Amino acid sequence: MRAMKRILRNCVAAAILLAAFSGHLLSQQKETAKTSSKTKNAVREWPSFSNGHEPGTWDAMIQEDNVNIQFYGDHWSNGRNIALSELGKLPEENIGEFSLNRAAGKISFKGVFEDRFGHGTYTFDENTGFKNYLQQRGYTGLDKEFMMNVFFTDISKGYFDFMVANGYNEITNSEFKDLVEQNMNQKLMADYFDLIKTEGYGHQSLGKLVELREHGVRPDFIRGFEQMGYKKITLDQALDLRDHGVTPKFVTEIRSMGYPDISLDKAQDLRDHGVTPKFVNEMKAMGYGDISLDRAQELRDHGVNPEYIKSMQAMGYKNITLEKAQELRDHGVNPAFISGIQKLGFKDISLDKAQELRDHGVSVAYIQKVKAKGLANITTLDDYIKLKDTGF
């Protein structure tokens, strides 16, 4: 009985991990534990995940020819895409073992895949010979966690030969650390080198390449703009665009709405001011089809958005112009203010009158205060404005 309880307890723990990643069925895990003696023996070795993922656990999802694996360690987690061809046959239905070998070491996996989703445990054994090689090159701080990142980046002796062939004969300890931590593997570096060569950027420092990577400026990001006709983009300009959220997709969407000549500087201005394709599209859909990008940016700066205009239209002001909407915003007139005035009995208030009330400081609270005084001669909104102007 105790053995059965232990099996069920461990099985449930394993299912919690799977549910956290993919929502797979707990009942199927229980059935596997009950019917397969092989699985039953493996489950006995399963760790407890009652407090979340623990060091040495993983979960994964198969995506076409790759497996996205999330590794969990001491106070860290690391997601990597690994080619299916590197992992070999994956265990299905029953818990099994598979491994991944690279120059920096070996990861041994234990776990199971169900449909496209998997979970389990792993151990990493570093290659002491390769670690000694790195130390001979002068690299320090090679603890186990760092060596795992070397493993994930797939650094090998050939990596250094590749870097020398591209003009980087000496890689300092700090540069090596940055390359590893940013997962700048040989494939990615080759893409950067090809971009630099074809676009004539000249020799770039490793620090600049790392900066591009840190900011999310991959070669295809720059190529995307060039394919749209934006030539001679500097690397610093690419960094600015990425930092401000200007992507080829963003510019393509703006251009498709009738602004084919938008400059990258203007695209960056729009992003900085919160003007999105959705904002412009909604304005156009509301009947403001001739809106320019400069006008859209100005409206956004003044707080005039589709939601504001829709709310005003819903109150009966169907024909409100953009100019009037901006003027009202500047004077602090919003639907809540107008609604408050209407609830006091002034149903047919015009937008001009609402703005005049705001300008003279006649608020809902002020009108309520005057009403409480029982002043019989104060009945119209003009009366309240005149009274407010007297200092009452």
Tell me what the mean pLDDT of segment 18-46 comes to: 38
Digit-coded pLDDT (tens) for 208-225: 999 999 999 999 999 999
At 42, which amino acid appears? A
18 vs 25: CA distance, rounded Å: 8
d(CA 167, CA 204): 10
| 119 pLDDT above the threshold of 80 | yes
For the ranges 21-35, 66-80, 312-326, which has the lowest average pLDDT?
A: 21-35
Least confident of 20-34, 49-63, 281-295: 20-34
Give 17's pLDDT tier (boundaries 50, 70, 90): very low
State the Cα–Cα distance between residues 44 and 36, nearest whole angstrom.
13
- Give yes or no for residue 27 having a pLDDT over 60: no
CA distance 266 to 263: 5
- Given the DSSP bridges, would you call strands 57-63 and 117-126 parallel, antiparallel or unpaired? antiparallel
Q: Is 58 helix (H, G, I), strand (E, B) or coil?
A: strand
- 133 pLDDT higher than 90: yes
pLDDT at position 41 is 37
pLDDT at 22 over 70: no
pLDDT band at 75 (very low <50, low <70, confident <90, very high): confident
CA nearest 212: which of 184, 247, 248? 184
Kindly state the DSSP code that residue 47 receives in the 8-state scheme.
P
Residue 4: pLDDT over 50 = no
Alpha carbon separation from 203 to 1, 167, 185 (Å, rounded): 70, 8, 19
Closest by CA position to 124, among listed 55, 45, 21, 54: 55
Question: pTM above 0.75?
Answer: yes
- At residue 7, does pLDDT exceed 80? no
pLDDT band at 93 (very low <50, low <70, confident <90, very high): confident
- Report the helix count and the strand count for the chain, using DSSP H and E: 22, 6
What pLDDT, on a 0 to 100 scale, did the predictor assign at position 52? 57
In angstroms and rounded to an integer, the radius of gyration of the C-alpha atoms of the chain is 32
> Is pLDDT at 291 greater than 90 in this prediction?
yes
Per DSSP, what are the bridge partners of residue 99?
108
Label residue 237 by pLDDT band (50, 70, 90).
Answer: very high
On the question of pLDDT at 138 being above 70, the answer is yes
Categorise residue 56: left if φ over 0, alpha if ψ from -120 to 50, beta otherwise. Answer: left
Mean of pLDDT values over 284-312: 95
Average pLDDT estimate for 192-217: 97
pLDDT of residue 3: 39
Kindly tell me if the per-residue pLDDT of 88 is higher than 60: yes
Averaged pLDDT for residues 295-320: 96
Axis crossing angle, helix 157-165 with helix 186-199, rounded to the nearest 10 = 0
Amino acid at position 98, single letter: F
Average model confidence (pLDDT) for the chain? 88
Lowest mean pLDDT among 48-62, 171-185, 257-271: 48-62
Contact call for residues 202 and 196 (beta carbons, < 8 A): yes
Q: Look up residue 243 and give its amino acid.
A: D
In this predicted structure, what is the pLDDT of residue 361? 97
**Mean pLDDT lowest for which of 1-10, 163-172, 210-219, 383-392?**
1-10
**Rounded mean pLDDT, 17-35:** 38
More confident residue, 297 or 34: 297
pLDDT in tens, 338-378: 999 999 999 999 999 999 999 999 999 999 999 999 988 99
The three-state secondary structure class of 291 is coil
- pLDDT grade for 152, boundaries at 50, 70 and 90: very high
